[in-house]
Amino acid sequence: MGSKDLSTLKNNRLMVFFGILILLVPFGCMEKPRVSVTEPPPVSAPAPDDKQPPASVPDTDNAHVRAAAAMVRQGRQYLTRGEPDAAIRILERSVALDSSSGQNYYYLAEAWLMKKNARQAREFNRLAGSHLAQDVAWETRISRQRNRIDELEK
């Protein structure tokens, strides 16, 4: 192979190299796909079973919050057994321990519904809605509870 051939070949390789490089530049300039470091968009949890809603225990170091969550579980058991007064008693203590728990108020509304007191049920339903506004699953349950309160008031 003569020097002219080598030189030609070398030029061709260079052209291919630069050609590939030129082709890659647009890709290099393209905006990279954004990786979100903020909170992911809310994902709807599967709608809880109508009969046994999930007792989501908050994952927190706050002792009073854990204790309040345990009392909410007890309150739910009383409701399941058809003992609204006992449920109210324990949920009241739970509110005192952790007033930010919307579930407290939800189950208090349930207890007052069981006692056929729509006024109190509505107050607690409203509080539940205020505290659980960000939780899509609970929002649905609260809305359904509100409908039951409306029915009771008719």
Partner 1 sequence: MKKLFKSVCIFLAVIIGAVIVYGWHLSARIEKRFSSRLWRIPSTVYSDTTLLYPGQRFGPAHLREKLSRLRYSTVSTRPQKKGEVRFSTASAEIYLNDFSMPNQNRPGSLVRIRFNRKVIKSIEQVDDRNLLPILELEPEEIGQFYGPKRQRRQLVSIRQVPNEFIHAVLAAEDGRFYDHHGFDPIGILRALYVNLRYGEIRQGGSTITQQLAKNFFLTPERTFSRKLNELILSVIIEWMYEKDQILEIYLNDIYLGQSGSVAINGVGEATTFYFGKNVERISLAEAATIAGLIRAPGRYSPYSQLDRCRQRRDDVLKAMRARNWISVEELDTARSQPVRAVAERVSVKKAPYFLDYLSQQLEALYSSDDLTRLGLSIFTTLDTRVQSAAEQALIRGLNRLEQTLPTLKRPDPTRQLQGAVVVLQPKTGFILAMVGGRDYNTSQYNRVVQSRRQPGSAFKPFVYLAALDALTPVSRLSSVPQTYQIDGKLWTPENFSKDTEMDVSMRAALATSNNRATVDMAMRVGLESIVDQVARFHFTTPIQPYPSLALGAFEVFPLELARAYCAFAGDGVLPYPLSLKDVTDDHGQVLNQRHLNIENLITPAKAYIVTDMLRSVVTDGTARALGTWNLPRSIAGKTGTTNNFRDAWFVGYTPDILGLVWVGFDNGDSIEASGSKAALPIWADLMTSIPDYLTGADFRMPEGVVRLRVCSESGLLAEGRRCPRPVEELFEAEKQPDRPCPIHPAQGPLKVIIDGLKGLINPQK
Binding residues vs partner 1 (CB under 8 A):
61-64, 66-67, 69-71, 78, 83, 85-86, 88-89, 92-93, 95-100, 108, 120, 123-124, 126-127, 130-131, 133
- How many other C-beta atoms can be found within 10 angstroms of the C-beta atom of residue 11? 10
Q: Would you say 88 or 141 has its CB closer to partner 1?
A: 88
Distance CA 68, CA 74 (A): 10
For the CB of residue 100, give the shortest distance to partner 1 in the complex, in Å. 5
For the CB of residue 54, give the shortest distance to partner 1 in the complex, in Å. 17
Task: Determine the angle formed by the axes of helices 102-114 and 118-131, rounding to 10 degrees.
Answer: 160
Q: Would you say 62 or 147 has its CB closer to partner 1?
A: 62
For the CB of residue 36, give the shortest distance to partner 1 in the complex, in Å. 23
Task: Determine the angle formed by the axes of helices 102-114 and 136-153, rounding to 10 degrees.
Answer: 20
Q: Would you say 10 or 81 has its CB closer to partner 1?
A: 81
Q: Which of 89, 88, 91, 138 is nearest to 114 (CA)?
A: 88
In sequence order, what DSSP letters do the residues of 5-28 get, joined into one string?
Answer: HHHHHHHHHHHHHHHHHHHHHHHH
For the CB of residue 42, give the shortest distance to partner 1 in the complex, in Å. 14
Q: Would you say 11 or 60 has its CB closer to partner 1?
A: 60
